Amino acid sequence: MLILRLNKAGMPQDWIHPEQAARLYCQDKVLFELGHDSRLLRGGHNRLGIQSTLRLASIIACDGKVTDLSGKVALTNRYLFRRDNDICLYCGQRFSPRVLTRDHIIPRSRGGKNIWTNVATACRRCNHAKAARTPEEAGMPLLAVPFRPNVYERFYLMNRRILADQMSFLASHFSHQRDWQVQD
């Protein structure tokens, strides 16, 4: 389980391990908690044989530097395929990420840029069939509008094991309607 760390304004900052979260609790840096899920971390035993425990919330907000991450969503294939739910945006079939490709909607050879709004997840077959054409020219309309993830969508893309309450927190700030779902 990873814990979602927010800044004091409630903006996601990082996914952290329980041990890192425990350190923040011990340093008294946790300002508030969100979510219903929690995890009990067990520590050492004292002289009387009593073990120390610490309950960690799944979402914690901490004081400190406020980083605006909204403009920094790296365009990687891993994030792109997850944005599109591992679905080819031309034929609508779901594939293993291993066999998916990045399609430039307006082809690179025609001046199309390598940016979030000009890329789509495509299976090899569709990518090959479309070739150096636009979707209109190829008669292959896109099944969804490609978008640039906002900061909450970015944190969804980063972690494949999101707890239900973390998911509902992130999803309440998504700016694009899509079949977002928690995946194993």
Residues that bind Zn ion in the complex, under the rule CB under 5 A: 88, 90-91, 123, 126
CB nearer Zn ion, residue 84 or residue 153 = 84
Q: How far is the CB of 89 from Zn ion (least distance, A)?
A: 8
CB nearer Zn ion, residue 18 or residue 135 = 135
Q: For residue 4, what is the enclosing H or E element?
A: strand 3-6
Report helix, strand or coil for 15.
strand
CB nearer Zn ion, residue 79 or residue 90 = 90
Query: DSSP H helical segments within 1-146, as ranges?
Result: 18-26, 77-83, 124-130, 135-138
Q: How far is the CB of 131 from Zn ion (least distance, A)?
A: 13
3-state helix, strand, coil split of the chain in percent (to 5) is: 30, 25, 45
CB nearer Zn ion, residue 91 or residue 138 = 91
Q: How far is the CB of 142 from Zn ion (least distance, A)?
A: 11
Q: For residue 13, what is the enclosing H or E element?
A: strand 12-16
Q: Torsion-angle region of residue 49: left (phi > 0), alpha (psi -120 to 50) or beta?
A: left
CB nearer Zn ion, residue 123 or residue 170 = 123
Q: How far is the CB of 122 from Zn ion (least distance, A)?
A: 6
- Cβ neighbours for 136, distance < 8 A, ≥ 6 positions apart: none
Q: How far is the CB of 121 from Zn ion (least distance, A)?
A: 9
Report helix, strand or coil for 151.
helix
Find out whether 76 and 101 touch, Cβ atoms under 8 Å.
Answer: no
